[in-house]
Structure formats: C-alpha cells, structure tokens
Amino acid sequence: MNENNRLPISWPALLPALLVPLLGSLLYFVWLPGAEISQLVYGATKVFTLVYPFFFVGWKDLFTSPPTTSWGKIIVIGLGSGIAISVAGIALMFSPIGDLVQAGADPIREKATKMGFAQNFLLFAVFISFFHSALEEFYWRGFVFGKLKERVGNAGSHILAGLAFAAHHLVVTWQFFDPPLAIFLAICVAIGGVIWTLLYQRQGSLVGVWLSHLCVDVLLMVVGYQLIQG
C-alpha cells in the first residue's frame, strides 16, 4: 500500500476500526446465546472489516502499490516465518501448556457445535485458513496499522495494532481457558501481530504476511479439530 496516497483519518473514525471487532466478539461469543443470532453478528462483523477500510483508503492504494522487495523473498520469508511460528506452536502443545489447552476441549466442542462450526468443520477450516486470514491481514495490517502510523508514529502503531488485534482473540480464549492461559495466548497473538506488521512494513506487500498467517491458522485448525473430535 502506498502510504503517500492514504487519506487522513480522524480518531473518531479510527476508533470503530479498533473496537468493532472486539465488540462483535463479545456479542457473538459471550452476550448472545442463540446460534442463529450469533452467526448473524459474526457475519456482520466480518462484513464490517471488509467494507469499512474503503471509506478511507482507495482500492488502488490497497492492491496496486509495488512491493519494496522481490516476490521471491516475499514468498520465502512469508512461508518461512509462518512455519517457524507454527513449529513454536507445536512445541507449546507438547509442553504443559498443551495439557492446559486440552483441558478446554469440552467447552470448545460445545461452543463449536452451538455455532454450527463443528458440523461443517472442514469448510470452516478452509474459510479461516485461506480467506479469513487474508481478510485479517487486509484489515489489521493493511488498514489499521497504516492508519495508526499516521497518528501515533512507527513504534506506537506496531504496539497498538498488535494489542487491538489480540483484543478480540482474548475474548475467545477467555471463554475456554483459565485467565492466566487466556491472557498468555492473547499475548502470543499480540506478538504475532507485531511480527506481521514488521514484516508488512519491510516488504510493502500483504502477500507475505498472508502466507505467514495462513500457516499459523492451518495449525490452529488442526488443533481445533483434535479438540472438537476428542
């Protein structure tokens, strides 16, 4: 994305970008018990993350700006970072933390069944791994990070974008795990968010961070399948 072509954004316009995904997760994961309404809110939240950036950033600015490095490096570093993060995640699953994650299998299975994910898990996994990861990179790195950089500078934008990215994940982890583990997992998400904003800033392209994110989400879907299937 070409930073020089970005339109300015005010804090009142930026705050919904930071807070709506968090509010949506509270609605569809905590406050609304019905399966149909929670699915509706989930879908509405994803539509918001797809549409809202285009009120402030042009289509060409998002998708036609040339990267700052070669496509070969973008792909290799993107996949390499994703594999490295996934290996770290696998190592955690073989540590005592993995036992704590396994202890949350019953509530995860119950929630996945209630929201209709367990019954169509393969389709859900493909959606999350390939399409939802791309949507999140478009939104959190391509839009939110870029706009935060205009307001709080380089270092602050990495930190604030990472925390905002982790916030709605904390809502999810809090439903299934004890608070220390839920917070630890959310911190891991925040660190991952910072890694991806740094990678995006270095490469000038969302392709590498999407490949990295895709690898991590594939691992999460494998773990999720094992927990849901028992």
Q: Specify the higher pLDDT residue, 5 or 101.
A: 101
Q: What is the pLDDT of residues 158-197, one digit of tens each?
A: 999 999 999 999 999 999 999 999 999 999 999 999 999 9
Read off the pTM. Answer: 0.91
**pLDDT tens, 69-112?**
899 999 999 999 999 999 999 999 999 999 999 999 999 998 88
* End-to-end C-alpha distance for the chain, whole angstroms: 43
- The helix (H) or strand (E) run that includes residue 143 is none
Residue range 100-127: mean pLDDT, rounded: 89
Is a pLDDT exceeding 50 seen at residue 1?
no
Q: Which of 42-56, 106-120, 150-164, 175-189 is least confident?
A: 106-120
Q: Are 215 and 77 in contact (CB under 8 A)?
A: no
Closest by CA to 86, choosing from 218, 186, 224, is 218
CA distance 164 to 145: 10
Choose among 6, 105, 116: nearest CA to 53.
6
Average pLDDT score over residue span 194-217? 96
pLDDT for 220: 97
Task: Specify the pLDDT at position 63.
Answer: 59
* Average pLDDT of span 132-146: 95
What is the pLDDT, as a whole number, of residue 8? 65
Write the single-letter amino acid at 2: N
Task: Report pLDDT for 193.
Answer: 97
Mean pLDDT, residues 198-213 taken together: 95
Which carries the bigger pLDDT value, residue 209 or residue 111?
209
**Tokens 């911190």 sit at which residue?**
187
Structure tokens that stand for 10 in this block: 């005010």
The answer to whether the CB of 62 falls within 8 A of the CB of 138 is yes
